[in-house]
Chains A and B, each alone.
Chain A
């Protein structure tokens, strides 16, 4: 008997079967599967049939196509999401994809236009559509108040957009900052006072008048005057404003990794200080603070002889 070349008929040449097998595989590997994996699993299917099956799944919206450094990945799409987009067309899906990629920083409408190459009118229509479907939302940026960034509906906006702990609804909370400012200063001041009164040798006195940023942060948290949770960086920005007020000085010391409050091997220490000179002589005379100083000359409307500020000051 001559050898008959038997061409094994693939048992599941049915396209639906192929698709189901692929979907099963995707469920097995939720992170995604490469083309290689599918080939290994079903070696008897030709490449063309595989491609057709995958394309069908993609167009039905059940598979996601991703690119990784090893090649193309196929991932099962979230069934919930798959249902959402049923009614939208490809353009909307593209825009939605772009917004999703922007994460919680959001993306501006002009950037969406660049990325998708769609005309402005189309973009606006799509954005309105998506908003009405409650898939995306617009968040006003604190940096430029007219600019609106779009992000997914259920995401929390990032700090850089809302301004972080110091902004509440786009308003800078100056009173809050002031209160924190005074509290930190009072804490440092009392620390310096107790150190000064302890009357030990000067090294110990000085070292005990220092407070690390961690200590101040703990004190403020314990005070509980802030509704928002404050991080150590926030407290450091407040302490920096005290430095710019000239009330506090800072030194950086090297600290071992692992000691409380150290960041990258160094710690910041703060200390309350007094100004080095009392208010200077010029400001004790009325001329030093006079708003019309440049207009004042003898014989004019405003002159030293008839200066009302001087008269008031002399009567004081």
Chain B
């Protein structure tokens, strides 16, 4: 793990879980897999605290454990999984667009709690929804359950691995740690529960102040003492599926930008049809015949079969090579070239970064070297039609930032500079890795700035919180208008202005983190697809 990634993980863990968990987590990321005793010794925290921290981390799928031959259990942290915490807002937003508010809350609760049983989840979500609804209306459990079932069917949520039943039957001393297994077909099987009930609206006296720890809220909602029917079956969010969805979105928008709306709809249909059938790391989707595509088009689109065929031919002939024709049966079978798409998107990201940082003429030279693979200095000037001095300057600038590499081809065995060819070339994989590293550092910078801004104005924020609490309590006890005014004036106008600015800045920094995360997603998908190919 690079230094930048470790820094980012430490910032995220600290923000979401606190100091102790952060210390343990970062230690595990830095040193790899370790047994419990060693962690306690190295981090100099008490055994109790380490256990609790590990509990939290395991609950959130950030740490896994393994039983070794000699009976020791070693814990290992997943650095990439910690970095996914940046993407939680995007996951929740996707669930909202696909399954509306109910889906949004289900995914949010799952992500915040790591693992949950279905019944607990449904109850919690119903309660939350009921609170936002008007007086007198409540949310039915059945509706929440049906949304949950739909999420499971489309593989957005999956079951966590369970304790294997064979272990309990084995005679002999119990294992130091259970091994968890789950079979492929069980992963999305929803247990048959009859959850009947309605969401409970919390009374205002029980309303929690913001920032209360989660444990207290759990105690509040543990009203019924009935045994939960699906005890032991825990669910977690299936992040791979969400990533697949993001990738599909990127492909569809790329096609829409390059061609027109109808082509992008066709591509979206094709991707939807291969959602469940194609594993996410495959280079091509399953071949789809044009008849199937025609039948699966959304009902709003009434284009004739011939027009569809024409669009498919156009897509297959396009120089981008996103769609390929793999045969002629069934009116022509088509596949989507997933690896090629990721490569094109990563290349486009690189080009966009070069353009914004160095200017459009540099971008021209960059694309030129990208297309022609290897070029000499003189050829670059000729093809790009840029004066020699400027071209040289730009090439050296990009060389110093490692976007472009220099390849030496000696003519003589003694590598004399006057008798060597120097060729410029671009290696997309290494440039993508370099850019990814920069993205991690940028996000760490943005988080640090956000924390700094908040810390700067801490005094002001605390004051405004106190004032709000006073006003709320006075409103509850029925105070007069004049008294309320007086309390409100405790915050002067410039201070109010400052708070406004602070809120705006924090929002901007947050939004920027999410945008940089989009770039990270594209680059990571490309690097991953390249690794799998090898």
- Asked if A246 is at the interface (CB within 8 A of a chain B CB), the reply is yes
- Asked if A238 is at the interface (CB within 8 A of a chain B CB), the reply is yes
> Is A240's CB under 8 angstroms from B383's CB?
yes
> Is B445's CB under 8 angstroms from A282's CB?
no
> Is B385's CB under 8 angstroms from A177's CB?
yes
A196, A245, A296, A304: the one within 8 Å of B260 (CB): A196
A196, A206, A238, A282: the one within 8 Å of B435 (CB): A282
A273, A281, A298, A314: the one within 8 Å of B448 (CB): A298
- Asked if A129 is at the interface (CB within 8 A of a chain B CB), the reply is no
29 A-B pairs, CB-CB below 8 angstroms?
A: A166-B385, A174-B385, A202-B260, A202-B307, A203-B313, A203-B314, A244-B367, A244-B371, A245-B363, A249-B319, A274-B257, A275-B352, A276-B348, A277-B253, A277-B348, A280-B349, A280-B352, A280-B519, A280-B522, A281-B516, A281-B517, A282-B516, A284-B515, A285-B512, A293-B438, A304-B445, A304-B452, A307-B449, A314-B509
- Asked if B442 is at the interface (CB within 8 A of a chain A CB), the reply is yes
Query: Cβ of A307: which chain B residues have Cβ within 8 Å of it?
Result: 445, 449
Query: Cβ of B388: which chain A residues have Cβ within 8 Å of it?
Result: 172
> Is A296's CB under 8 angstroms from B364's CB?
no
What 9 new A-B contacts, CB under 8 Å, besides A275-B257, A276-B344? A279-B352, A280-B352, A280-B518, A281-B515, A282-B442, A303-B448, A305-B448, A310-B449, A314-B505
CB nearest neighbor in B for A316: B508
Given contacts A202-B310, A273-B258, contact A283 B446 (CB under 8 A): no
Query: Cβ of B508: which chain A residues have Cβ within 8 Å of it?
Result: 314
> Is A201's CB under 8 angstroms from B310's CB?
yes
> Is A283's CB under 8 angstroms from B257's CB?
no
- Asked if A287 is at the interface (CB within 8 A of a chain B CB), the reply is yes
Q: Which of A122-140 contact B (CB under 8 A)?
A: none
Query: Cβ of B363: which chain A residues have Cβ within 8 Å of it?
Result: 245-246
Q: Which of B332-372 contact A (CB under 8 A)?
A: 344-345, 348-349, 351-353, 355-357, 360, 363-365, 367-368, 371
- Asked if B262 is at the interface (CB within 8 A of a chain A CB), the reply is yes
Given contacts A246-B351, A274-B258, A310-B449, contact A282 B519 (CB under 8 A): yes
> Is A285's CB under 8 angstroms from B349's CB?
no
Q: Could you mark each residue 152-184 of chain A with 1 if its beta carbon is under 8 Å from any beta carbon of chain B, else 0?
A: 000000000000001000001010010000000
Instruction: Quote the shortest CB–CB distance from B481 to chain A (angstroms).
Output: 37
> Is A275's CB under 8 angstroms from B348's CB?
yes
Instruction: Quote the shortest CB–CB distance from A205 to chain B (angstroms).
Output: 8
> Whole-angstrom distance between the alpha carbons of A249 and B508 in the complex?
37
A273, A276, A283: the one within 8 Å of B356 (CB): A283
> Is B385's CB under 8 angstroms from A246's CB?
no
> Whole-angstrom distance between the alpha carbons of A127 and B348 in the complex?
56
> Is B452's CB under 8 angstroms from A287's CB?
no
> Is B364's CB under 8 angstroms from A244's CB?
yes
> Whole-angstrom distance between the alpha carbons of A279 and B257 in the complex?
13
> Is A172's CB under 8 angstroms from B311's CB?
no
A244, A273, A276: the one within 8 Å of B368 (CB): A244
> Is A276's CB under 8 angstroms from B254's CB?
yes
> Is A288's CB under 8 angstroms from B353's CB?
yes
Q: Which of B492-533 contact A (CB under 8 A)?
A: 505, 508-509, 512, 514-519, 522
Query: Cβ of B54: which chain A residues have Cβ within 8 Å of it?
Result: none
> Is A296's CB under 8 angstroms from B445's CB?
yes
Q: Could you mark each residue 242-269 of chain A with 1 if its beta carbon is under 8 Å from any beta carbon of chain B, else 0?
A: 0111100101000000000000000000
Given contacts A244-B364, A276-B348, A277-B345, contact A304 B257 (CB under 8 A): no
> Is B387's CB under 8 angstroms from A276's CB?
no
Query: Cβ of B319: which chain A residues have Cβ within 8 Å of it?
Result: 249, 251
CB nearest neighbor in B for A180: B385
Q: Which of A33-61 contact B (CB under 8 A)?
A: none
> Is B360's CB under 8 angstroms from A287's CB?
no
Instruction: Please report B residues at the A interface, Cβ cutoff 8 Å.
Output: 250, 253-254, 257-258, 260, 262-263, 307, 310-311, 313-314, 319-320, 344-345, 348-349, 351-353, 355-357, 360, 363-365, 367-368, 371, 383-388, 435, 438-439, 441-442, 445-446, 448-449, 452, 505, 508-509, 512, 514-519, 522
Query: Cβ of A85: which chain B residues have Cβ within 8 Å of it?
Result: none
Q: From B313, B356, B386, name the one whose CB has the most chain A CB atoms within 10 angstroms.
A: B356
The 10 closest A-B pairs by CB, nearest first: A281-B515, A287-B442, A283-B356, A304-B445, A276-B254, A305-B452, A281-B519, A304-B448, A281-B518, A244-B368
Given contacts A203-B310, A206-B314, contact A287 B441 (CB under 8 A): yes
> Is A282's CB under 8 angstroms from B353's CB?
yes
CB nearest neighbor in A for B382: A237
> Whole-angstrom distance between the alpha carbons of A314 and B452 in the complex?
14
Instruction: Quote the shortest CB–CB distance from A297 to chain B (angstroms).
Output: 9
Instruction: Quote the shortest CB–CB distance from B107 to chain A (angstroms).
Output: 22
CB nearest neighbor in B for A306: B452
> Is A285's CB under 8 angstroms from B387's CB?
no
> Is A244's CB under 8 angstroms from B442's CB?
no
- Asked if A241 is at the interface (CB within 8 A of a chain B CB), the reply is yes
- Asked if A289 is at the interface (CB within 8 A of a chain B CB), the reply is yes
> Whole-angstrom distance between the alpha carbons of A274 and B250 in the complex?
15
Q: From A240, A249, A298, A305, name the one whose CB has the most chain B CB atoms within 10 angstroms.
A: A305
> Is A276's CB under 8 angstroms from B452's CB?
no
CB nearest neighbor in B for A288: B442
> Whole-angstrom distance between the alpha carbons of A89 and B258 in the complex?
71
Query: Cβ of A240: which chain B residues have Cβ within 8 Å of it?
Result: 383
> Whole-angstrom distance between the alpha carbons of A212 and B313 in the complex?
21
Instruction: Quote the shortest CB–CB distance from A240 to chain B (angstroms).
Output: 7
> Whole-angstrom distance between the alpha carbons of A176 and B518 in the complex?
40
> Whole-angstrom distance between the alpha carbons of A245 and B435 in the complex?
21
Instruction: Quote the shortest CB–CB distance from A23 to chain B (angstroms).
Output: 52
Instruction: Quote the shortest CB–CB distance from B527 to chain A (angstroms).
Output: 15
Query: Cβ of A281: which chain B residues have Cβ within 8 Å of it?
Result: 512, 514-519
Query: Cβ of A244: which chain B residues have Cβ within 8 Å of it?
Result: 364-365, 367-368, 371, 383-384
CB nearest neighbor in A for B446: A285
> Whole-angstrom distance between the alpha carbons of A281 and B349 in the complex?
9
Query: Cβ of B367: which chain A residues have Cβ within 8 Å of it?
Result: 244-246
> Is B311's CB under 8 angstroms from A276's CB?
no
Query: Cβ of B435: which chain A residues have Cβ within 8 Å of it?
Result: 282
B311, B387, B439: the one within 8 Å of A202 (CB): B311
> Is B387's CB under 8 angstroms from A174's CB?
yes
> Is B445's CB under 8 angstroms from A287's CB?
yes
Instruction: Quote the shortest CB–CB distance from B503 to chain A (angstroms).
Output: 12
> Is A282's CB under 8 angstroms from B439's CB?
yes
Given contacts A245-B364, A282-B519, contact A277 B349 (CB under 8 A): yes
Instruction: Quote the shortest CB–CB distance from B194 to chain A (angstroms).
Output: 45
A238, A241, A276, A283: the one within 8 Å of B357 (CB): A283
CB nearest neighbor in A for B439: A282
Instruction: Quote the shortest CB–CB distance from B255 to chain A (angstroms).
Output: 8
Query: Cβ of A288: which chain B residues have Cβ within 8 Å of it?
Result: 353, 356-357, 438, 442, 516
> Is A293's CB under 8 angstroms from B387's CB?
no
Q: Which of A209-260 contact B (CB under 8 A)?
A: 237-238, 240-241, 243-246, 249, 251
